[in-house]
Amino acid sequence: KPKSSEPIRVAAAADLAHAFDELKPAFSAKNRSEVTVTIGSSGLLAKQIDEGAPFDLFLAANTSYVDQVVKAGSCDGATEHTYARGRLVIWVKGADGARLSIGALAEPRFKRVAIANPEHAPYGAAARDALTKAGLWSQVSERIVYGENVQQTLELAKTGNADAAIVGLSLALAQPVGSWALVDEASYAPIDQALAVCTHGGNTAGGRKLAEFLNAPEGRAILRKYGFLLPGEAVAKVP
């Protein structure tokens, strides 16, 4: 029973933090409903949704966590779809990042390379894939330090304690400092991010509306601006 007074509660993956700064007001301007966002690790959010967390919309950083909550009956399988595809970058604190390739990470000047934990962070798994594909994994793995999510991973490099970080483009774009280079998209499995409308929140209808908004031109434009690839679009140039 959706109440119009209830805000639309969104659980969103960490790489969406910055995009939502813009998505929220854009959506609210059109729909006169309030949106509140809880940013977190998709894995933890999925577990909470399974336990009845009152979210109307779940935007994960991959597809499997959404599969999980749908299977558990906490979200509506009919609404599940990919809303964006994340892109991997190598980020360094200095200004010389634009020309970096993944191969460069083998150089000894990269004493510490930060990636998100590949065990559970989608960008981490992609980073490992890319390093493996480049034949560097065994060489570099000694120098890897794991962050729990992309944001923390970036923090390690931003504070100068890691010499490079492999993170999402969305994050790199939001940094006032540093420079980055895209990682070849053929070198890792696509980071498809799925969403689903969930049932334990008080405003399922609002969740649906927001999901639609993300798929509409205005929403897509914002996601694109923050570095995501969109379903049905070819690999585009980086803005």
Partner 1 sequence: MIDLEPLALSFEVAIVATAIASALGVALAGVLTLPRLIGREVIDSAITAPMVLPPTVLGYYLLVALGRESAIGHLFEALFGTPIVFSRGGAVVAATIGALPLITKASRAALESVDARLVDAARTLGASSLRGFLRVSLPLARRGIFAGVMLGFARALGDFGVTLMVAGNIPGRTRTASLAIYDAVLAGRDADATRLSLIMTALAIAVLVVAAHLTRSRSDDI
Token output for 210 = 């927001």
For partner 1, the closer of residues 51 and 96 by Cβ is 51
Where is 166: in which H helix or E strand? strand 164-168
Q: Does 51 bind partner 1 (CB under 8 A)?
A: yes
Binding residues for partner 1 restricted to 109-148, rule: CB under 8 A: 112, 117, 119-121, 144-148
Q: Does 54 bind partner 1 (CB under 8 A)?
A: yes
Q: Does 74 bind partner 1 (CB under 8 A)?
A: no
**C-alpha R_g of the chain:** 18
Least distance from partner 1 to the Cβ atom of residue 233, Å = 26
Q: Does 94 bind partner 1 (CB under 8 A)?
A: no
* Torsion sign across C-alpha atoms 141, 100, 192, 112: positive
Q: Does 96 bind partner 1 (CB under 8 A)?
A: no
CB 130 within 8 A of CB 181: no
For partner 1, the closer of residues 96 and 233 by Cβ is 96
Task: Write the DSSP assignment of 18-49 as a string of letters.
Answer: HHHHHHHHHHHHHH---EEEEEE-HHHHHHHH
Least distance from partner 1 to the Cβ atom of residue 76, Å = 18
33 — phi, psi (to 5°)? Answer: -125, 145
Binding residues for partner 1 restricted to 26-45, rule: CB under 8 A: 36-41, 43-44
Torsion, Cα of 115, 184, 87, 65 (10° steps): -70
Q: Does 76 bind partner 1 (CB under 8 A)?
A: no
* Torsion sign across C-alpha atoms 66, 114, 90, 176: positive
For partner 1, the closer of residues 11 and 84 by Cβ is 11
- Please count the residues of this chain forming the interface with partner 1, following the rule CB under 8 A: 41
Least distance from partner 1 to the Cβ atom of residue 213, Å = 19
CB crowding 222-236: b at 16 or more within 10 Å, else e: bbbebbbbbeeeeee
For partner 1, the closer of residues 24 and 208 by Cβ is 24
Q: Does 182 bind partner 1 (CB under 8 A)?
A: no
Contacting residues for 233 by C-beta, under 8 A, at least 6 apart:
none
- Where does this chain bind partner 1 (CB under 8 A)? 7, 9, 14, 17-18, 21, 36-41, 43-44, 47-48, 51-54, 112, 117, 119-121, 144-149, 151-152, 155-156, 159-161, 171, 174-175
